[in-house]
Amino acid sequence: MPSGKQMKGFAGEKLAAAWLEEKGYVILEANYRFMKAEVDLIAFLPTKQYDRGGDLVFVEVKWRRNEDFATAESSIGSTKKRLMIQAAEAFLHERKLEGTPCRFDVVTLVGSPPSLKYEHIESAFIA
């Protein structure tokens, strides 16, 4: 049975996924796992001219009650980045998408509904 922290994480990922969809992203997968590596959301952002492709985006979601102690994105350290990159490589390999341009984004949620603040950090780090 998932812990309270895990349940909040799943809820935050659902909220972030819905918010990204409103911005035009297509959610391909949630909670993709490869061994110990995990990515919260994998999304596709089509270009305005859809037939010309788009961006494959690996998204980490962080939710905080407030930012009194630290920002949500500051909790993504080198180990988490390495594991996200490992999961992304596995995803690309499994789907025969090696060489596909992709980026790593962070979506932060601060507060609690209904006054939740979203922030989207595109290309938060480079692989």
pLDDT of 92 higher than 90:
yes
Radius of gyration of the chain (CA): 15
pLDDT of 108 higher than 70:
yes
Please give the pLDDT value at position 112: 84
Least-confidence region, from 11-15, 19-23, 45-49, 123-127: 45-49
pLDDT of 87 higher than 80:
yes
Q: What domains sit in the chain, N to C, each tagged with a CATH number?
A: 4-125 (3.40.1350.10)
Q: Confidence class of residue 72 from pLDDT cuts 50, 70 and 90?
A: low
Please give the pLDDT value at position 4: 72
**Six-digit token pair at 96?**
């025969």
- Model pTM score: 0.88
Q: Is residue 115 packed enough to be buried (19+ CB in 10 Å), middle (13-18) or exposed (0-12)?
A: exposed
**Helix (H) or strand (E) segment spanning residue 20:** helix 4-22
| Sheet with strand 117-125: strands edge to edge | 26-34, 37-46, 54-64, 102-110, 117-125
